[in-house]
Structures are given as C-alpha cells and as structure tokens.
Chain A
Amino acid sequence: MAKTSTSAGHGAHGDGAHSEHAAHAHISRGTYYRVFAALMVLMALTVGAWWIEGIVALPRLLGVAIAMAIAIAKTTLIVLYFMHVKVSERATQLYAAAAFIGFAIMVIITMGDYFARGWPPPPGPLP
C-alpha cells in the first residue's frame, strides 16, 4: 500500500552503513489520504455499532469487543502510516511494539490476580 521511494544519497559519509532496509523510504501523500479515509470509515462504524446496540439488544461483551477491535484497527493504521513505523528502523519498530505488549502484560497479570481473588465482587454497595 505504501509507495516507497528512495531519496537521493545523503552525501559522502555513512551511506549504506546502517540503512539496509528502506531506511530512506517515505510514505506518499496519497497513502496518507487513503489512511485518513479508512480512519473516517472506522469512526463511522464505531458510532454506528453503538447506535445499533441501542436498538438491538446485543450481549454487552460483544459490544465492547466490537468497539475495541475498531479502536485497535485505527491505532494500527495511525502507528504504521502516520507514525511511519512501517518504514522505520527495526529498533523503532521493536519499541513501538513493546509499548503495546507491555500494556498487555500489565492487563493480563493484573486481571489474572483479580480473578484469582474472586473478581467481580458480589452485587451490592462498593466494597
């Protein structure tokens, strides 16, 4: 999807020393517009899904899953194209992934602990 093109060399030193893969690549304006259009479609979908859930009784968990799937899709588009991670260095890609994996680890360990202690609590006033 991303049109990559290599720009002109950057002078005498350092060229090719570390840019083994598409380090000079950039994302074209056309791609930005298409990504933006996709983001707008996803935005309409998430509000539309919420509106439909107000009419048709769907399982609550399904509604949350749809909303989060759309939010994750939007984030992926923004990170890959707007934040250039698709054409970034490997180390940058690793850190971008680490941010989200780190958050996932926090959620899994924390919720695991809560469930092991009988979460959610029985109905009634807040403990």
Chain B
Amino acid sequence: MATTTPTTPTATPAPAHEHGHEAHGRELLHHFESAQQQKETATLGMWIFLVTEIMLFGGIFMAYIVYRWAFPDVWAEAAHHLNTPLGAVNTVVLLVSSLTVALAVNAAEEGNRRRLLTMLGITLLLGATFLVIKGYEYSEKFAHCAGAANPVAWVTGGARLGESECLVPGRNFIFPEAHGAEGAEAGHGTADSYAQPQAGLGSPYQLFYFLYFVATGLHAVHMVIGLTIVSILTFIAWRGVITPTYYTPIEVGGLYWHLIDIIWVFLFPLFYLVH
C-alpha cells in the first residue's frame, strides 16, 4: 500500500530546480538568474523602503524647518535644557555601531562566521546602550515634571527639584524662568515677547519639545525595530544560514541600521546643538 517514497511529493512541484545547487546556495530562487542578481534585487527593494522611511522622517524635519525659521529665539532658549553631553555620547555610540554593522557585512562576505557573530553582538550592545542613554534623558524630563531632581530621586523619593519645570508637552508644561536672564542678554528685542515663562498649552517653548519628543521617539521606535532585526540576524548567522554566496539578510538589515544612524546624525545637531 504505502509504496510512495517520501521524495515523490517534493519532486513534482520543483522540476525547474533540477539543475542542481553546486553553483550556488540552496537559497537561490528559481526566478533569479544568479545569486548576484537576487542580492541586487533585494538591495533595490530595501532602498525603495528606505525612501519611504526618509519621507516619514522628512515630514517631521519639514515641520522643524518651518517653525525654527519662524521662532529662532524660542529654539535657542528651549534647546538649553537638553542634555548635550549625553546626546554627543549617543551620536558616537551610533556611529561606532554603524562601523560594526559594516564590518559584519564584510565578515559575512568573507565567510568568517566568528567575526560576523562578534560584530553583530557588539552592534546589539551598542544599540542597547543608545536606548538606555535615551531612556535616561527621557526619564529626566518626566522626573522634573513629577517634581523630582533626577530619575533616581523620582523613584526613591529623594531630592526635589528647586524650581518647577516640566518640559514634557501637555497641560502641565512649564518652561523654567532661570534662563530668562541669559536670553535677555543675547536678546534681539523680539525675544522679549517669548521670554515670559508660560505654563500649559500657551507656552511657545512647547513647540520645540513637541518636535523633540516626536522625532527622537520615532527614532527610538526604529532603534527597537533595528535591535530586533539584528537579533534575528545574529540567530540565523549562529544557525549557519549566512554564507559567502548568501549574505543578503546581513546586507539588507545593515542598510536599515545605517538609515537609523543617518536620521540621528541630523537629529543631534538640530536638537542638541542650537544657539
């Protein structure tokens, strides 16, 4: 009765693949002529997706340009309250991670599985470091809204913030007065109309922080997705799927990671380095 061999069902749907797999890996799909063509197609597809990503962030950058052009003094005042040293450290962290991703692609190309896994591992660590630093910056802002001096004091109920400040956009937004003196000194006359601290939705400084949280928040979401992708790449590299003839996942995943880096390259000077 059971005379059908296990090979029979699989032999029928794939007659086109009878040419054997010696010349390339198993992963070459039958509608591509070569592994090279398949990789180029995947790369082009990824770039088409990256174009849509740039337009997604482009909308935020567009809003930024419109409002900074109109209210340069508000920008100069508001940016003082961001943590520039931490922003600079995060920029370096991301640039190093871009290097490790580029080296991971190189290792995959050369078939060096050990170096590939090391580079992907370092990338994961750097990506996590970025998110931890970013998370600290965010929690600092939220801690100030809660009246605590820093995130640790917020949790432990320690030191309170001397002057009320809340830079998270919303009903409770309060821009501190302390920098008024500095602003008036550099003032161009027009700055005075913005200089009075205003609580709540009426404060012009809220515009800067609204864009800051939206832009860096969307970037952080991309970092989380990027970390997930690199984790999957690490797993398949560990399983031995990646070979010198088939390293498209590393190449394409790397493109996504570099794009996140490019977005941050612009976010850093636009939010942290404002005068």
| B245 interface residue (CB < 8 Å to A) | yes
Given A26-B109, A99-B51, A111-B66: A92 and B44 within 8 A (CB)?
yes
**What secondary structure prevails in chain A residues at the interface with B?**
helix
Choose from B44, B55, B98, B266 the contact partner of A91 (Cβ within 8 Å). B44
CA distance A62 to B88 in the complex (A): 21
Which chain A residues border B150 with CB–CB below 8 Å? Answer: none
Cβ-defined contact, B265 with A10, below 8 A: no
A83-127 residues with Cβ-Cβ distance < 8 A to B are 83-84, 88-89, 91-92, 95-96, 98-100, 102-103, 106-107, 110-111, 114, 119-121, 123-126
**What secondary structure prevails in chain B residues at the interface with A?**
helix
Of the stretches B32-40, B141-149, B166-174, B218-226, the one at the interface is B32-40
Which chain B residues border A120 with CB–CB below 8 Å? Answer: 69-71
Choose from A29, A53, A54, A63 the contact partner of B103 (Cβ within 8 Å). A29
Which chain A residues border B98 with CB–CB below 8 Å? Answer: 36, 39, 78, 82
Cβ-defined contact, B34 with A13, below 8 A: yes
Summed over the interface, the residue pairs from A and B with CB atoms below 8 Å come to a total of 165
| A12 interface residue (CB < 8 Å to B) | yes
Which chain A residues border B103 with CB–CB below 8 Å? Answer: 29, 32
Number of interface residues of B (CB under 8 A): 61
Which chain A residues border B109 with CB–CB below 8 Å? Answer: 26
Given A99-B54, A110-B62: A88 and B36 within 8 A (CB)?
no
Kindly report which residue of chain A lies nearest to residue B23, judged by CB atoms.
A11
| B99 interface residue (CB < 8 Å to A) | yes
Choose from A75, A107, A123 the contact partner of B190 (Cβ within 8 Å). A123
Given A89-B40, A95-B51: A103 and B273 within 8 A (CB)?
no
> A38: shortest Cβ distance to chain B, in Å?
10
A contact residues vs B (CB 8 Å cutoff): 10-15, 17-19, 23-24, 26-29, 32-33, 35-36, 39-40, 43, 46-47, 50, 53-54, 60, 63, 67-68, 70-71, 74-75, 78-79, 81-84, 88-89, 91-92, 95-96, 98-100, 102-103, 106-107, 110-111, 114, 119-121, 123-126
User: Which 7 residue pairs spanning A and B have beta carbons closest together?
Assistant: A11-B23, A14-B34, A14-B33, A120-B70, A67-B269, A50-B273, A123-B190
B contact residues vs A (CB 8 Å cutoff): 22-24, 32-37, 40, 43-44, 47-48, 50-51, 54-55, 58, 61-62, 65-66, 69-72, 76, 84, 88, 91-92, 95-96, 98-99, 101-103, 105-106, 109, 190, 193, 202, 204, 207, 245, 251, 254-255, 258, 261-262, 265-266, 268-270, 273, 275
